[in-house]
Homo-oligomer: A and B are copies of this chain.
Amino acid sequence: MQWLNFDKLDSYKKLAALKAPELPVALAGEAGAERVAKYQVPMSSGMVYSFAAKQVDDDILAALQGLADEAELTKKYEALYNGEMINTGEKRLVLHQLCRGQLGEPVLADGTDKRLFYVEQQRRAGEFAAKVHAGEITNEKGEKFTTAVQIGIGGSDLGPRALYHALENWARANGCFKMEARFISNVDPDDASAVLATVDLAHSLFIVVSKSGTTLETLTNEAFVKNALIAAGLDPSKHMLAVTSETSPLAGNPDYLDSFYMDDYIGGRYSATSAVGGVILSLAFGADVFAQILEGAAAEDKLARNTDICQNPAMLDALIGVYERNFLGAFATAVLPYSQALIRFPAHLQQLDMESNGKSVNRFAEPVSYRTGPIIFGEPGTNGQHSFYQLLHQGTDIIPLQFVGYKKSQMANDVVIEGSTSQQKLSANVAAQIMAFALGKSSDNPNKFFAGNRPSSIIVGEQLTPASLGALLAHFENKVMFQGFIWNLNSFDQEGVQLGKLLAKKVLAKDTDGALTAFSDLLGIF
Contacts and interface: CB of A to CB of B under 8 A. Distances in A.
A450 B519 contact: no
A519 B354 CA distance: 30
Given A431-B507, A508-B419, A515-B36, A187 B426 contact: yes
A388 B172 contact: no
Given A193-B413, A375-B375, A427-B520, 17 more contacts: A28-B515, A186-B340, A190-B339, A190-B410, A197-B411, A223-B417, A354-B388, A359-B394, A385-B500, A390-B497, A395-B496, A405-B523, A419-B508, A425-B504, A431-B523, A432-B504, A432-B506
B188 A422 contact: yes
Interface size class of A (residues with CB under 8 A): 35 or more
Nearest to A367: B446
Given A447-B495, A523-B460, A524-B427, A409 B188 contact: yes
Contact of A379 (B350, B393, B426): B350
**Most chain B CB inside 10 Å of its own CB: which residue of A193, A355, A391:** A391
A370 B396 CA distance: 8
Interface stretch (A149-157, A234-242, A243-251): A149-157
A219 interface: yes
A371 B398 CA distance: 11
Contact of A500 (B29, B191, B373, B436): B436
Contact of A190 (B223, B405, B411): B411
A331 interface: yes
Interface string A12-41: 000000000000000111101101110010
A389 B497 contact: yes
A499 B392 contact: no
A292 interface: no
B396 A372 contact: yes
Given A188-B426, A220-B425, A520-B431, A500 B393 contact: yes
Contact of A397 (B331, B394, B420): B331
A429 B495 CA distance: 17
A389 B496 contact: yes
A387 B350 contact: yes
Interface in A421-447: 421-436, 438, 440-441, 445-447
Interface string A487-523: 0001001111111111110111000011111111011
